[in-house]
């Protein structure tokens, strides 16, 4: 029921009754006056203005202004750590990037966003991908990155880390799709990581994300579970092949230096023999010249000396000696090769059999008897 309709108890919207003591709405000036009096009471100003209307005194206004200024200045002070950079927006537009230290920016005017630019962050991704030879592999990749440009990281892209995840998947699938399965599962993983890092960095630079790729690791590559056993057998065969190659290379590395050493030793021996022959020839030539000089002085003596030296040299190399018994027709043969044969453990005579020793004794006795008989015959002839 409306307030001015019949039965409304003569009430108005201002809380009064018609005909009562309050015939209209409340006085707004009176309400403001009461509020100002309360504020003046808080700051010690209880008097009224000269005009008779309530209000703040000059001292109270200055005090409030000072307090407001101090609070405003305090809210604008902030510190940037050594590993951080601060991106300052003024009225929503980029203003500047501040380095480490204590700074101040007006609150409600500037918006400051701090970014850690030294911390290395990690992003991991995993998925099944198709290789160049139409095989499916499962690759687990991890990307380590940091913030190189705080302005681009904050302003250029709405969600830089989400862009990094999508770009890393794109780069990884592009590289895996250009590689064969054997390379992905074995020795090609390091090369794949390098190619992914290069392509991913080009994507992020093109998007102006402000992200710098530190390192990309291909942590694990596996074939599908359905063919895991077959690939294990293939990997085992490759390991056996690699082990055989290593053994062959080790054998070659052992044989080749030894052969080279023998060849070098043979060359050195040949050079030494050459030097020896040349030196000996030169010495013989010098000796012959000196011998010729002596021969010119005494030919007969020199000839006899040369004959004796030659016979000594010849007979010293002979293993058989023929003894001519003067006055007899028989010649005695002595096996000097057995008599003078060196032995490491026994005497040379002990190497002969008992029969050979007895035969040697008989022959020596026969020679001695013939020598005595010859001397006796000569003495008789002399007489």
Residue 132 sits in the same domain as residue 90? no
Q: Is residue 14 in a domain?
A: no
Residue 160 sits in the same domain as residue 177? yes
Contact residues for 89 (Cβ-Cβ < 8 A; gap 6+): 95, 110, 111, 112, 113
Is pLDDT above 70 for 343? no
How much is the average pLDDT of 13-41?
57
Residue 165 sits in the same domain as residue 193? yes
What does the pLDDT read at residue 253? 87
What does the pLDDT read at residue 53? 46
What does the pLDDT read at residue 346? 45
Is pLDDT above 70 for 132? yes
| Number of structural domains found in the chain | 5
Is pLDDT above 70 for 5? no
Query: What confidence tier does 381 reach under pLDDT thresholds 50, 70, 90?
Result: low
Residue 266 sits in the same domain as residue 278? yes
Q: From CA 325, how far away is CA 340, in angstroms rounded? A: 23
Residue 191 sits in the same domain as residue 102? no
How much is the average pLDDT of 104-111?
87
Q: Is residue 1 in a domain?
A: no
How much is the average pLDDT of 213-238?
83
Residue 158 sits in the same domain as residue 197? yes
Q: Is residue 199 in a domain?
A: yes
For the chain, give the mean pLDDT. 78
Q: Is residue 295 in a domain?
A: yes
By residue range, what is the domain housing residue 328? 321-382
How much is the average pLDDT of 199-218?
93
Residue 292 sits in the same domain as residue 269? yes
How much is the average pLDDT of 144-172?
92
Q: From CA 329, how far away is CA 310, in angstroms rounded? A: 27
The pLDDT tens digits for 36-79 are 676 666 555 544 444 444 445 667 777 888 888 888 888 888 88
Residue 302 sits in the same domain as residue 327? no
Reading the block at residue 310, the tokens are: 């030659």
Q: Specify the CATH number for the domain of residue 197.
A: 3.30.479.30
Q: Is residue 13 in a domain?
A: no
DSSP per position, 196-239: HHHHHHHHHHHHT--EEEEEEEEEEEE--GGGHHHHHHHHHHHH
The pLDDT tens digits for 168-207 are 999 999 999 998 888 888 788 889 999 999 999 999 999 9
Stretch among 16-25, 117-126, 349-358 having the lowest mean pLDDT: 16-25
> Which of 156, 188, 223 represents a domain boundary (last residue)?
223
Query: What confidence tier does 120 reach under pLDDT thresholds 50, 70, 90?
Result: very high
Q: From CA 33, how far away is CA 56, in angstroms rounded? A: 10
> Which of 63, 93, 116 represents a domain boundary (last residue)?
116
Is pLDDT above 50 for 19? no
The pLDDT tens digits for 291-341 are 888 888 888 888 888 888 887 777 777 666 555 555 555 555 555 555 555
What does the pLDDT read at residue 345? 41
Q: Is residue 67 in a domain?
A: yes
Coil, strand or helix at 93: strand
In 10 A of CB 365, how many CB atoms? 10
Residue 169 sits in the same domain as residue 147? yes
Q: Is residue 64 in a domain?
A: yes
Percent of the chain topping pLDDT 70: 68
Residue 266 sits in the same domain as residue 342? no
Residue 125 sits in the same domain as residue 219? yes
Residue 370 C-beta-side C-alpha neighbours within 13 Å: 16
185 burial via Cβ count (<10 Å: 0-12, 13-18, 19+): buried
Q: Is residue 104 in a domain?
A: yes
Query: What confidence tier does 374 reach under pLDDT thresholds 50, 70, 90?
Result: low
What does the pLDDT read at residue 350? 52
Query: What confidence tier does 379 reach under pLDDT thresholds 50, 70, 90?
Result: low
Residue 38 sits in the same domain as residue 83? no
What does the pLDDT read at residue 85? 92
> Which of 317, 346, 368 represents a domain boundary (last residue)?
317
């Amino acid at each position: 029921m409306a307030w001015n309709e019949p039965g409304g108890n003569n009430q108005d919207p201002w809380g009064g009754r018609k005909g009562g003591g309050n015939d209209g709405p409340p006085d707004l000036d009176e309400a403001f006056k009461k509020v100002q009096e309360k504020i003046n009471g808080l700051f010690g100003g209880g008097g009224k203005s000269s005009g008779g209307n309530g209000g703040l005194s000059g001292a109270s206004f200055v005090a409030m202004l000072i307090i407001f200024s101090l609070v405003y200045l305090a809210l604008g002070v902030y510190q940037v750590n050594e590993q951080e950079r601060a991106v300052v927006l003024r009225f929503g537009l980029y203003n500047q990037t501040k380095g480490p230290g204590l700074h101040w920016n007006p609150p409600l005017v500037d918006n400051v966003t701090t970014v850690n630019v030294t911390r290395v962050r990690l992003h991991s991704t995993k998925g099944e991908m198709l290789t160049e030879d139409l095989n499916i592999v499962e690759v687990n990749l991890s990307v380590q990155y940091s913030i190189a440009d705080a302005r681009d990281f904050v302003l250029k892209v709405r969600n830089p880390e989400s862009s990094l995840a999508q770009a890393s998947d794109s780069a990884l699938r592009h590289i895996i799709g250009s590689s064969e399965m054997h390379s992905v599962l074995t020795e090609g993983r390091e090369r794949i990581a390098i190619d992914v890092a290069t392509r991913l960095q080009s994507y992020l630079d093109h998007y102006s994300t402000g992200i710098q790729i530190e390192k990309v690791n291909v942590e694990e590559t596996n074939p599908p579970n359905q063919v895991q056993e077959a690939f294990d057998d293939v990997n085992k065969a490759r390991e056996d092949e690699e082990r055989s190659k290593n053994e062959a290379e080790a054998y070659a590395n052992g044989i080749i230096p030894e052969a080279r050493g023998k060849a070098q030793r043979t060359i050195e021996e040949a050079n030494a023999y050459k030097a020896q022959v040349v030196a000996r020839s030169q010495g013989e030539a010098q000796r012959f010249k000196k011998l010729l000089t002596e021969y010119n002085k005494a030919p007969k003596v020199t000839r006899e000396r040369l004959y004796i030296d030659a016979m000594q040299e010849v007979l010293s190399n002979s293993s058989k000696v023929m003894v001519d018994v003067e006055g007899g027709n028989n010649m005695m043969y002595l096996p000097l090769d057995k008599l003078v044969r060196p032995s490491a453990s026994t005497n040379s005579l002990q190497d002969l059999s008992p029969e050979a020793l007895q035969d040697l004794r008989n022959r020596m006795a026969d020679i001695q008897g013939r020598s005595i008989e010859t001397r006796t015959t000569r003495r008789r002839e002399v007489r």
